[in-house]
Amino acid sequence: MAGRSEGISRFRDRIVLGVCVLLSLWAVSLDEPRRVEVGTRLAHHILSPLEWSTHFLTALGRLKVENEILRGRLAALELDAREIETQRRRLEELNERAGFYERNRGRLMPATVLELVVSRIPIQAKIRTYGGDSLKVWQAVVTERGLVGRISRVLGEDEALVELLTEADTRISIETGSAGVTGVLRYDGRHFWMDQVPQGDPVRVDDPLVTSGLGGTVPRGIPVGRVLQVEPNEIELFQRIEVEPAVAFSAISQVYVITRPGPWYSRPGDTMTPPREEGP
């Protein structure tokens, strides 16, 4: 078998050699101009694919480099777009806070949240004010979205601890913004509830909930949240009302201390009048 393959290989080599000899004799038989013309054509047909391949590989390498450069520029543009979006949201947040601060009467003292005391979620916050009125226990603390809690302890001239609405012992009197049905806001560690609402009182899903002002520590009309669901039960004396809070307590960073009460929020259907100029 090996001998046969070797024989075939020798036969093939002889054929190739014979073809080359015949081509050489044929080329020698041609006159000089004809030989040059034929040689040029052969060289063109043989070298053209090689030249094309070389140009193709060079262009491919250049495209690869350009592609990497464009990828880098695209990544930079994506980072710039994210930064612009972050700044846009920050600007909207600042505009919202500024509008909130300007449209309310009474007096609000801005403060920064220095730290949050966290159990399962934040239950207490340490704040520092920017100066102004003196801090007192039970002063209400709010954001532009609604009530955060009340000052539970004054630590110094410009620092205090705030008991958040998520503290288990916190009870705030609230009412529905539509019918004025009153109840008590309570947090059980997982959900907010509106307690002490008798069966039959008109409470509907999506009703806005605001502070009622009862108890005297929190001004009336500050948003607390909305009614998430109502579970009437004819056997029980009171309705079971779940509340969605207005404030994301894990994300609070800037707050306001209410140092002088006023009509902070207009009730549905009311018209807010411009603030009066007040003396010092």
* Residue 271 in this model has a pLDDT that exceeds 90: no
| CB contact at 8 A, 97 and 243 | no
Q: pTM above 0.75?
A: no
The dihedral region occupied by 132, where left means phi > 0, alpha psi between -120 and 50, and beta the remainder, is: left
- Pairing between β-strand 254-260 and β-strand 107-118 as defined by DSSP bridges: antiparallel
Model pLDDT, residue 90? 73
Q: For residue 188, what are its two tokens?
A: 């059980």
Q: State pLDDT tens for residues 218-247.
A: 888 889 999 999 987 778 889 999 999 999
Using pLDDT thresholds of 50, 70 and 90, give the confidence band for residue 126: very high
- Coil, helix or strand for 233? coil
Distance CA 73, CA 206 (A): 47
* Residue 68 in this model has a pLDDT that exceeds 50: yes
Region 77-94: what's the mean pLDDT? 77
Model pLDDT, residue 269? 38
Q: State pLDDT tens for residues 22-67.
A: 666 656 665 666 655 666 666 566 656 766 777 777 777 888 888 8
Residue 228's nearest CA partner among 187, 188, 183, 192 is 192
CA 57 remoteness from chain centre: 45
Region 144-152: what's the mean pLDDT? 92
Region 250-264: what's the mean pLDDT? 81
* Residue 19 in this model has a pLDDT that exceeds 90: no
